[in-house]
Structures are given as C-alpha cells and as structure tokens.
C-alpha cells in the first residue's frame, strides 16, 4: 500500500470527522459510530469539493493540489471541534444493556453476516473492472475524461458540441449530470497513479460502512437501545439491492440514499435537542442532494416542504394543507404552469405532460402494468427481503408511538409523500416503462430506504423496558 493511497483515504476521513465534531461536539450514546460514519462520507465529499476547486488545471496530480487545502480545512475544523468539545460536557454513557442471550446470539450472527458480506463486497470492488451500465456510461465518463486528459474540460449538450468544433468541449448522454462524484473519483484516481477502476470505486464500500455506522450512531443518540439499533443496522445493511449497489459500485443512488438518510437523522436530532449543529448537518445534506443526482432536487423540495410544515404553528398547518390542496387543484385546472425547482430549472406542467429540464419529458397516462411492476418490485422480487411487507405491519403495530412523536410522524409523512411521488412517476407518466423493465424503479426506491428504516427503527425504540440511565442528549439542549 503506497503512502499516497493511505493519505487519500486518511485525509478525507480526518477532514470529515473534524467537520462532524465541529458541528456536533457533544459525546453521548453512539457518538463514535456517528462520527466515523458521517465523517467518512462527508470527508469523501469534501475531497470532491477540494478537487473541483483546486485541481482543475492538473487532474493527474489532483490529490497533491487538493490535499493541502483539505489538510488546512481539517486542521482548522479540528481546532474548532476541540474548542467546542471542551466547552460541552459529555453525556454520561449508558450502561451495557443485559439483553436476552438469544437476542445476543442472533445479533452476533447478524453482525457476522454483515462482516462477511462486507468482505465479499470489498473483494468484488477490488477485483472487478467497472461493470454496471450507467457506472461507465454516465457516472465515470467525466472523471475518466478529466483524469486521463490531465485537466478539466466542460461537458456540454450535443448541439453546443457540434456548434463549437474548435473548443475543447465534450459531450455524452449524461453531460448534464452533476459532477460531484466524478470529482471524488478524480481524487482517488490521482493517488492510484492511473485510471484503475477498483480504486476509484472503493469509496462505495466506505459509503456502505459510513451509512451503517452513521445510522447506528444517530439512532442511539435518538434514544434507540443498542439491541434495536444493531438490529436496524443489520436490516439496512443486509438489503440485497443495497448490497448490490456497493458490490457493483459506480451508481449515484446509494449516495443520495445516504445523504437523505443522514439529513433525516440530523433533522430528528435537531427537533429533539435543538442543537444548531444538527440543523446545519441536515441543511448541508439536503442542499447536497441535487449536486449528487438530479432527482435529488425533488427530495430537496419535499424535505423543505415537510420541514416548513413542521415548524408552522398548529393552526397555520391547516392553512398550509389547504394551500397545498389549492395548488394541486390549480395544477389540475390550469392548462399550463411553470414551477421553479432548484437544481433543475423551470419545470413545465400541462395536462398532457411534464417537462423537467435535464431529466426529460413525461406524458401523463395511467399504466396498470407499471403499477403491478411496482408491487412486484416491492413485495415479490428478492431485492428488499421483507422490508416492504413489514412496513405496514410495524406502522399499524406502533401506530401510537408514531402518532405521539410529531417529528417521527412528519418524517413518516415525508417517506409517504416520497412514495406517492414515485408511484405517480412510475404509473402515470412515461417513466412507467422504467418500472415495467425494472430499470429504475428499485433504484429510486433505494433512495428512500434509509429514511424508511429510520422511521421503523424509531417507531420500535420504546419496545424494550428502560434498563439504562436516561441519556442527557434526550433532554432539551438550548445550545
């Protein structure tokens, strides 16, 4: 293992951890897992940002150009983190829970299976050249071009490419896709010393580890017992299609899922503790969504809508719901309407269809076969184990817990609205062909999976009798 390889991994990890601790300095249950999980993922995105800012002129040595600013950032934020951690008292750690030995045994098996699949995924990434279609057709095109070219070159539409033959412009089917993950791949490729696909795909494994640790840590901080948090982590990490997105690395959907999941968790913690740092984490995660994948703009809009609804006084909420109903009615009555969507531009809606810049044009008609395909994806195919069978059961079973926790209820509403949107997209628009061919339906569902598992895990958090000391993080914290 070369020094460069070690540095390009350690530097983002250090920067990400420092950023997380600067924002969330308090130690409490799960803080180490949350720090490592969020730190790892944020670090890779910070490396992407630094590469795009400081290494455009010399992408072949990107990490040497972007490494110094990243190191300075890491040191500066580490200093801030150190100051803030000194000011904050640590939450007293919980005693180990004396879980039933059968449960302990099952959890040990579950964690061993996570470790085993982690090993399989790591080896799969490490050995196989980039395999899935869009990974090489869409997501790695910009990064491979910039790295092998030695410098940045703009990607433009085909018409612009043809109109300006003298300029160094590139085009492709995914020319409008965000470049964040591409810049991250440039960072890792530059340390590998060549376009070595397993090394540029390795961040997907780190993302999986970060996703699981981040969720476990935040669930613990939200008052979930160790047993249920571990069970939730196993449930999330064992989902077959999620595993596939790690093993056959290169797609952006898992990044979107992780950021959406992190945003939901940070928002829940802000709601519970009123910690501004968590609110900032939530905002950062949500703002980053459209910079990872274009449909992230839809989730951003939905997040903003639910968050605004959540902060409204109770009597205003009725007006907000009535206003939303009016907007829907307006959309149904008016022949043409244009709505601005951050990250996408002006979305044109008519009775005949919807035109989304960068994503395409979708005519409106109900497709029953696509609806059956959607059900097939959720309940029949082996993509999600029992997840979607369990969702209605757990919601009914834990209905009171969901109803009594406003934040959890609103997160549940977010997931429900997200599914309503996907259902509309895949059954009432031209996108139904992607549902019928199963080419996109599961990948968009994947984006909502971590947030869904969070709702289920938190709904089950009060299942166990409280054997532990109450966690101070559970108390209102005005800071």
Partner 1 sequence: MIRRIACAVALVLVWILVLGWAAGLSWNAPLQPARTKALAGDTFRTVLGAGVQDEGSLRVGAVGDDGNALQSLTMDGIRAADYPILRYRFEDFPRTLELSLVFRRADAPTDVRSITVPWPSAGWQTVDLGRLPEWRGTIVELGFAEYATAQLVPPSVAFKPFRFDRAELASPSWRGGLAALYTSWFAYVPWALHSISALMPDRATFGTASPVPVLVIGMLLSVFVLAGFLRWPRRRVLQGAGIAALLLWLVLDARWLRDFDARHGLTERLYAGKTWDERLHLLPDQDLAFMAAQIGAWLDSQPPGQRLLVAADSNYAFLRLIYLLLPHNAALLQLAGAAPLPPDSLVLLYASTQWRYDEARGAIVGGARAYPADPVFESGLAHVYRLRSDAP
Q: Is the Cβ–Cβ distance between 134 and 128 less than 8 Å?
A: no
- With contacts defined by CB under 8 A, name the span among 70-78, 339-347, 348-356, 440-448 that binds partner 1: 440-448
C-beta closer to partner 1: residue 184 or 244: 244
- With contacts defined by CB under 8 A, name the span among 15-23, 71-79, 159-167, 266-274 that binds partner 1: 159-167
C-beta closer to partner 1: residue 147 or 414: 147
| The two three-digit tokens of residue 41, written as one number | 């993922």
Binding mask 392-431 toward partner 1 (x if CB under 8 A, else -) reads: -x---x----------------------------------
Residue among 150, 187, 201, 209 nearest 4 (CA): 187
Pairing of strands 353-356, 360-363: antiparallel
C-beta closer to partner 1: residue 172 or 345: 172
C-beta closer to partner 1: residue 174 or 284: 174
Helix axes of 101-127 and 203-221: crossing angle, nearest 10 degrees = 160
Q: Which residues neighbour 108 within 8 Å (Cβ) at sequence distance 6 or greater?
A: none
Site size with partner 1, rule: CB under 8 A: 66
Quick check: 339 binds partner 1 (CB under 8 A)? Answer: no
Quick check: 137 binds partner 1 (CB under 8 A)? Answer: yes
How far apart are CB 178 and partner 1 at their closest, in Å?
A: 19
Among positions 443, 447, 459, 473, the unique one binding partner 1 when judged by CB under 8 A: 443
What burial letters (b/e) apply to 459-470, b meaning 16+ CB within 10 Å?
A: bbbbebeeebee
Quick check: 371 binds partner 1 (CB under 8 A)? Answer: no
Q: What residues between 95 and 134 interact with partner 1 by CB under 8 A?
A: 106, 109-110, 113, 116-117, 120, 123-124, 127-129, 131-134
Quick check: 57 binds partner 1 (CB under 8 A)? Answer: no
How far apart are CB 326 and partner 1 at their closest, in Å?
A: 38
Among positions 69, 198, 345, 358, the unique one binding partner 1 when judged by CB under 8 A: 198
Residue among 403, 377, 389, 357 nearest 175 (CA): 357
Quick check: 377 binds partner 1 (CB under 8 A)? Answer: yes
Q: Which residues neighbour 145 within 8 Å (Cβ) at sequence distance 6 or greater?
A: 153, 155, 170
Quick check: 309 binds partner 1 (CB under 8 A)? Answer: no
Quick check: 470 binds partner 1 (CB under 8 A)? Answer: no
10 Å CB burial of residue 330 (0-12, 13-18, 19+) is exposed
Residue among 124, 134, 138 nearest 244 (CA): 124
- CA dist 346 and 353 (Å) reads 14
Q: Which residues neighbour 281 within 8 Å (Cβ) at sequence distance 6 or greater?
A: 20, 23, 24, 38, 262, 263, 266
Q: Which residues neighbour 185 within 8 Å (Cβ) at sequence distance 6 or greater?
A: 140, 143, 144, 147, 200, 203
C-beta closer to partner 1: residue 192 or 408: 192
Q: What residues between 164 and 193 interact with partner 1 by CB under 8 A?
A: 165, 168, 170-173
- Could you tell me the CA-to-CA distances from 440 to 100, 279, 446 in Å, in that order? 42, 31, 10
Binding mask 225-264 toward partner 1 (x if CB under 8 A, else -) reads: ----------x--x-xx-xxx-xx--x-------------
The binding site for partner 1 (CB under 8 A) comprises: 106, 109-110, 113, 116-117, 120, 123-124, 127-129, 131-137, 140-141, 144-145, 148-149, 158-159, 161-162, 165, 168, 170-173, 194, 196, 198, 235, 238, 240-241, 243-245, 247-248, 251, 377, 379-383, 385-386, 389-390, 393, 397, 438-443
């Amino acid at each position: 293992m070369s020094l460069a390889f070690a540095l390009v991994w350690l530097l983002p990890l250090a920067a990400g951890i420092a950023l997380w601790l600067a924002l969330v300095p308090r130690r409490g249950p799960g803080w180490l897992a949350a720090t490592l999980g969020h730190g790892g993922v944020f670090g890779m995105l910070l490396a992407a940002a630094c590469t795009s800012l400081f290494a455009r002129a010399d992408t072949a040595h990107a990490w040497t150009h972007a490494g110094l600013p990243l190191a300075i950032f890491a040191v500066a934020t580490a200093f801030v983190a150190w100051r803030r951690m000194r000011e904050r008292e640590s939450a007293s750690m919980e005693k180990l829970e004396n879980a039933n030995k059968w449960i302990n045994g099952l959890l040990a098996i579950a964690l061993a299976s996570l470790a085993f699949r982690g090993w399989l995924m790591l080896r799969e990434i490490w050995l196989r050249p980039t395999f899935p279609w869009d990974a090489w057709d869409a997501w790695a095109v910009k990064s491979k071009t910039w790295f092998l070219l030695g410098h940045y070159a703009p990607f433009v539409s085909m018409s612009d490419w043809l109109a300006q033959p003298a300029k160094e412009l590139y085009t492709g089917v995914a020319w409008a896709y965000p470049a964040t993950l591409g810049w991250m791949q440039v960072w890792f490729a530059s340390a590998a010393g060549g376009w070595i696909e397993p090394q540029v795909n390795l961040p997907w494994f780190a993302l999986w580890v970060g996703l699981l640790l981040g969720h476990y840590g935040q669930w613990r901080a939200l008052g979930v017992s160790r047993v249920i948090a571990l069970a939730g982590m196993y449930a999330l990490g064992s989902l077959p299609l999620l595993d596939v997105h790690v093993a056959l690395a290169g797609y952006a959907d898992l990044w979107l899922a992780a950021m959406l999941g992190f945003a939901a968790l940070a928002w829940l913690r802000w709601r519970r503790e009123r910690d501004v740092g968590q609110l900032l984490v939530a905002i950062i995660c949500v703002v980053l969504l459209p910079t990872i994948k274009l449909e992230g703009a839809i989730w951003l809009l939905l997040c903003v809508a639910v968050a605004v609804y959540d902060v409204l006084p109770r009597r205003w909420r009725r007006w907000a719901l009535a206003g939303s109903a009016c907007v829907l009615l307006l959309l149904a009555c008016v022949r043409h309407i244009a709505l601005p969507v951050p990250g996408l531009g002006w979305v044109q809606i008519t009775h005949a269809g919807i035109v989304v810049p960068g994503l395409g044009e979708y005519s409106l008609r109900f497709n029953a076969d696509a609806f059956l395909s959607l059900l097939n994806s959720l309940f029949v195919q082996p993509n999600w184990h029992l997840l979607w069978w369990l969702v209605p059961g757990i919601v009914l079973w834990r209905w009171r817990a969901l109803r009594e926790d406003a934040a959890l209820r609103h997160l549940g509403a977010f997931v429900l609205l997200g599914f309503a949107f996907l259902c509309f997209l895949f059954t009432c628009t031209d996108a139904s062909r992607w549902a019928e061919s199963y080419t996109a339906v599961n990948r968009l569902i994947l984006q909502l999976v971590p947030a869904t598992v969070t709702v289920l895990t938190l709904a089950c958090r009060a299942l166990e009798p409280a054997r532990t000391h109450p966690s101070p993080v559970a108390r209102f914290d005005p800071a």
